[in-house]
């Protein structure tokens, strides 16, 4: 099976819409929409390749860029190693120089197009936040727990995992979900006896044990699904059943599990490098670790008391 190294660029306009291009009928995966870009030539760096491709395809001059994400996707007859770059500054108005259909599309409308398989992971990576708060797993209806939950609603948190080791009252969960909706926050359920049909949430988080019992995605694509993993093998299995993102832990030593050997930054980075889906680092994380986690390619950090 041949391996193709390719690059694509993320261009945004003043409305924060993203530019996508339609592959020509005679091309591989013709008729599908993708980010603009192309193959890396033998003598080029990825940065040189994306600069050249966008000039040839769109007539723009790239002035500043940054790596957004890398991924590997296997088709039946080829493997594509893809580097996605944010085009932070460019000159000229993008035009269809090579007669390729192009369109500026809002993030929430991207899925209305026939997209290449690699685009789903990209959409997840630009719509998920860099911080993922996990609630304390006990004493949910105590004043202290409720106060902490309410505080997070005003602390620039947009993704919350409701974690519980015991069954919770449906009305209580509904109240929490209503609070989240009012504050534009997504709520994922990590509760016992989950059915994946609960209407009072935006998705589910599954434990490693739950994930290893599954052979396919247990919920619809319009809901979020995440999974806890603790090594590369588990992370790859989570990706195989089509979760939207994973949490890998513990990256660093934690006070709650002092006897658990942490993965370390290098092993956590290996997980990021091998996966196409977003990865959050958990375990010993603090806000000061966010920049390092993102430099290693993680979506961000997760934690109960990290922020």
Shared domain check, 204 and 83:
no
Assigned token pair, 274: 């091998």
Shared domain check, 159 and 85:
no
Give me the CATH number covering residue 26.
Answer: 3.90.79.10
Residue with tokens 């993993």: 229
Query: What is the pLDDT confidence band of residue 47, given thresholds at 50, 70 and 90?
Result: very high
Shared domain check, 90 and 204:
no
Higher pLDDT: 125 or 232? It is: 232
Residue 120 confidence (pLDDT): 81
pLDDT, mean over the chain: 93
Shared domain check, 298 and 154:
yes
Assigned token pair, 259: 């006897």
Shared domain check, 170 and 151:
yes
Shared domain check, 143 and 110:
no
The average pLDDT across 69-98 equals 90
Residue with tokens 């041949």: 2
Helix or strand holding residue 104 (H, E): strand 102-105
* 220-241 confidence digits (pLDDT tens): 988 999 999 999 999 999 999 9
Query: What is the pLDDT confidence band of residue 196, given thresholds at 50, 70 and 90?
Result: very high
End of a domain among 96, 119, 142?
119
Residue 125 confidence (pLDDT): 86
- Is pLDDT at 268 greater than 90 in this prediction? yes
Question: How many separate domains does the chain show?
Answer: 2
The average pLDDT across 205-211 equals 97
Assigned token pair, 282: 């958990």
DSSP helix/strand/coil, 214:
coil
Shared domain check, 133 and 106:
no
Residue 239 confidence (pLDDT): 95
Find the domain containing 276 and state its range: 128-303
Query: What is the pLDDT confidence band of residue 285, given thresholds at 50, 70 and 90?
Result: very high
Shared domain check, 102 and 184:
no
Shared domain check, 188 and 232:
yes
End of a domain among 56, 90, 119?
119
Query: What is the pLDDT confidence band of residue 81, given thresholds at 50, 70 and 90?
Result: confident
Residue 161 confidence (pLDDT): 98
Give me the CATH number covering residue 298.
Answer: 3.20.20.70
Helix or strand holding residue 78 (H, E): strand 78-91
Provide the whole-model pTM: 0.83
């Amino acid at each position: 099976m041949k391996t193709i190294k390719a690059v694509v660029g993320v261009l945004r306009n003043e409305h924060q819409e993203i530019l996508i291009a339609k592959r020509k009928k005679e091309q591989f995966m013709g008729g599908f929409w993708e980010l603009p870009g192309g193959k890396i030539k033998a003598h080029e760096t990825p940065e040189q390749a994306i600069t050249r491709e966008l000039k040839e395809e769109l007539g723009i001059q790239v002035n500043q860029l940054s790596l957004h994400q890398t991924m590997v996707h296997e088709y039946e007859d080829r493997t594509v190693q893809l580097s996605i770059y944010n085009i932070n500054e460019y000159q000229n108005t993008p035009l269809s120089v090579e007669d390729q259909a192009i369109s500026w599309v809002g993030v929430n409308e991207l899925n209305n197009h026939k997209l290449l398989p690699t685009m789903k992971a990209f959409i997840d990576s630009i719509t998920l936040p860099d911080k993922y708060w996990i609630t304390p797993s006990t004493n949910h209806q105590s004043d202290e727990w409720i106060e902490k939950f309410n505080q997070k609603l005003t602390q620039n948190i947009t993704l919350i995992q409701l974690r519980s080791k015991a069954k919770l009252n449906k009305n209580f969960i509904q109240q929490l979900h209503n609070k989240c909706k009012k504050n534009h926050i997504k709520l994922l359920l990590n509760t016992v006896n989950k059915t994946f049909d609960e209407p009072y949430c935006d998705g589910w988080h599954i434990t490693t044990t739950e994930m290893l019992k599954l052979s396919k995605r247990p919920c619809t694509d319009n809901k979020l699904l995440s999974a806890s993993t603790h090594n590369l093998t588990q992370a790859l299995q989570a990706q195989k059943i089509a979760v939207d993102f994973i949490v890998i832990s513990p990256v660093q030593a934690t006070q709650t599990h002092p006897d658990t050997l942490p993965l370390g930054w290098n092993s956590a980075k290996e997980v990021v490098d091998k996966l196409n889906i977003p990865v959050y680092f958990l375990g010993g994380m603090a806000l000061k670790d966010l920049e390092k986690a993102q430099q290693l390619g993680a979506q961000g950090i997760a934690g109960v008391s990290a922020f």
